[in-house]
Amino acid sequence: MPIDLLTAEQSEMRELIRDLARERIAPRAAEIDKSAEFPWDVVELFRDHEIFGVLFDEEYGGLGASALMTLVAIEEVSKVCATSGLVIAVQELGSLGIKLAGTEDQKQRWLPQLASGEWLAAYALTEPGSGSDSAAMRSEARRDGDEYVINGSKRFITNAGVAQLYVVFAKTEPAAGHAGISAFVVEADAPGFSVGRIEPKMGIKGSTTGEVFFDECRVPADNLLGEEGEGFKIAMRILDRSRPGIAAQGLGLAQGATDYALEYARSRETMGKPIAQHQLVAAMLADMETKCEAARGLLYKVGVMIDEDHADLTKYSAMAKLYCTDVAMEVTTDAVQVLGGYGYMREYPVERMMRDAKITQIYEGTNQIQRLVIAREMLRENRAFLLAGVG
């Protein structure tokens, strides 16, 4: 029996989310993918059952923030629909800047609307010419009396056009590189803010991914998060805590694909017996399950580390994102193989899962960047004691 890190109350919440996913979201997953329309009905389901509240403290209208429980929620929903799992993950991503760097007034102003799901959030860092290299961003913000005026654009922004609140990064000192970046909260009705092209994608089709523009966009000076020049540090603190959400999405995809492939292999017969009893297929299933369980152990450890504000979070967050999403791609590919020709057909969900899995290796920091982050953190560690006495 696997070790369960969840409390009894959290286990009950997991069962609620699991039931909602299986009974209400799974039947919609194929249509969400086919129509490529944002699933407002799923958002309403999350609102009705207070799923967004898992991400927020009680004082802001939530159920009591728990990073571990947030990851569990994303995982459970992503087992049946990665687009719907992403709705939860991006609500966390878009709200983290306020939770980590906001004043009490800012938290009271915005977090209750996010905790209820009345408002959706987005995170706007990436630009057409600056993905992994945020110092190359061109968006700028200047102080003008009691306001900041923002000019520039962002690209590949999840929840573009459906979010009511965007955490936006722009340079207040253009020549200062990372040290010149500041963070702002921009509401969707801010003058000068607009949404551009919504991208057609290979996977997670029901999630909107698009461009947003700032043309002399004016926001109150009170919408600055932290101090001027602290934006890059805020962005990195956010990503340390949000990347595990993408890891959870990847794990959910991998486990969902494993479960489906297992049921198929039990019922599909060749040569007089279920294909699950053929050694090569059995070995694939065993590897798929082992990778999922190993990924879950790492992911849940990171959830506990976030809740405990652990010092080594950067390294382990990157490790979880790297491993869980690589597993997602490997396992969904294997699931298609287990189903053979049927796995390549849209009638079966593993084809969608395989397409959805690919983006998890790319967004919120490519897995190549995660390897660089992990190696950098390793080089900072003192492991000389391990070599003591070695000649």
Among the four given CATH numbers 1.10.540.10, 3.40.50.300, 3.40.140.10, 1.10.238.10, the one describing domain 8-116? 1.10.540.10
Q: What is the mean pLDDT of residues 112-135?
A: 91
Residues 190 and 196: beta-carbon distance below 8 Å:
no
Is 75 an annotated catalytic residue? Answer: no
Catalytic residue among 140, 293, 364, 381: 364
**106 falls in which pLDDT band (50, 70, 90)?**
very high
CATH of domain 121-228: 2.40.110.10
CA proximity to 257, closest of 297, 229, 214, 287: 287
Distances (CA, A) of 75 to 128, 206, 286: 30, 17, 20
Q: Where in the chain is the domain with CATH 1.20.140.10?
A: 232-381
Q: If residue 153 lies in a helix (H) or strand (E), which one and from where to where?
A: strand 147-158
Segment 191-218, tens digit of pLDDT: 999 999 999 999 999 999 999 999 999 9
Model confidence at 228: pLDDT above 60: yes
CA proximity to 57, closest of 114, 105, 134: 114
Spatial distance between the Cα atoms of 22 and 287, rounded to a whole number of angstroms: 25
Across the strands, what pairs with 169? 183
Which residues are CB-neighbours of 188 under 8 A, at least 6 positions away?
A: 163, 164, 165, 166
The CATH T-level fold of domain 232-381 is Butyryl-CoA Dehydrogenase, subunit A; domain 3 (1.20.140)
Q: Where in the chain is the domain with CATH 1.10.540.10?
A: 8-116
CA proximity to 89, closest of 57, 118, 55: 55
Q: If residue 37 lies in a helix (H) or strand (E), which one and from where to where?
A: none
Encoded tokens for 342: 């049927």
Segment 43-86, tens digit of pLDDT: 999 999 999 999 999 999 999 989 999 999 999 999 999 999 99
Spatial distance between the Cα atoms of 115 and 110, rounded to a whole number of angstroms: 9
